[in-house]
Amino acid sequence: MLGRTSWIGKCAERCLRTFFESLENHLSEQLLNQPNQDERYLLGLLYAALNTPNQFAYYQQLQACMTQCQPRSGPLYVSMSVVAHSQNFESKKGADLGIILKVISKHVSLEKGILVQAKRLHGTEDGHFSMDSQYIELHDDSQAVKMLEITPSSFFMLINPPVLMHGARRTIAGVQMLPASTVKGFSFDISRSPRNLEGRTTSLTDFMVGDVMKSNVGDPREDVLKIAKGGNEEFPTKYTLLMALGIPQESVISATKDESKHE
């Protein structure tokens, strides 16, 4: 298992946090600007950001930042893949995307997967959001049940505007991650609002950097990895973010080819 802070140093963590915070802001601003768009549209923006790195300034900044970091224990290769599941696959497994983290270094070699279902916050018809707005679809826990039958590493990605108000109180919202087990355990009469979920969620940035990359969140079992990667779908859509520390570019390309052979 990957222990906390076993490979990621302060320099790389700073770079990664800046990148994921930028992604969070990107999605949150889009929801604020187009409040009636569904989550598949918002996920499309996430995929576009990962699929067009040369046009996405934050990706270029991440790569430039990472090249200045020295690995803690020799050369390091990391890839984070986001796999978009088809609607047919989602209806069977409950997840509309899978996240796969792969780490290769002198001291560790691991791969682990996470199942994710995205939901957006619903505002009023005029686009107003508050801490009492609702994640309407969370009243149905069937997707949580399906994902948890596969792995405990199952989560809901809750897409919110950057800031929510409750009276005079101002709360930073953005993109939050909620364990599927929490959704499964909700009683029906509990409001699915940001106010009622306070303390139960983690920001996307803290989740990806603190929980997934620095700790043990994620399932390394082959059957879970297969589902996270789209199962038996012939052409799953995959977006891969590569992070290489101290490894020649040709080694990264070779590792990428080896990775694709085994999927």
Closest-CA residue to 132 (of 165, 176, 108): 165
Tell me if 183 sits within 8 A of 144, measured CB to CB: yes
Q: Is residue 103 part of a domain?
A: yes
**Is 70 a member of any domain?**
yes
Query: What would the pLDDT profile of 119-167 be if each residue is shown by its tens digit?
Result: 999 988 777 888 988 998 888 899 999 999 999 999 999 999 988 877 6
Note the pLDDT of residue 247: 46
Question: Would 3 be classed as within a structural domain?
Answer: no
Domain assignment of residue 154, given as a range: 10-261
Residue 241 lies in a domain: yes
Are 155 and 215 a contacting pair, CB within 8 Å?
A: no
The pTM of the full predicted model, rounded to 2 decimals, is: 0.84
The count of domains in the chain is: 1
Local structure of 228: helix, strand or coil: helix
Predicted pLDDT of residue 228: 93
**Sequence-separated (6 or more) residues with CB below 8 Å from residue 255:** 77, 79, 104, 247
With a cut of 50, which residues of the chain have pLDDT below it? 1-5, 246-263
- Residues 6+ positions from 262 with CB-CB distance below 8 Å: none
Q: What is the pLDDT of residues 88-99, one digit of tens each?
A: 888 899 999 999
Where does residue 110 rank: exposed (0-12), middle (13-18), buried (19+ CB within 10 A)? middle
Residue 98 lies in a domain: yes
| Structural domain contains residue 5 | no
Domain assignment present for 23: yes
Query: Residue 1: inside a domain, yes or no?
Result: no
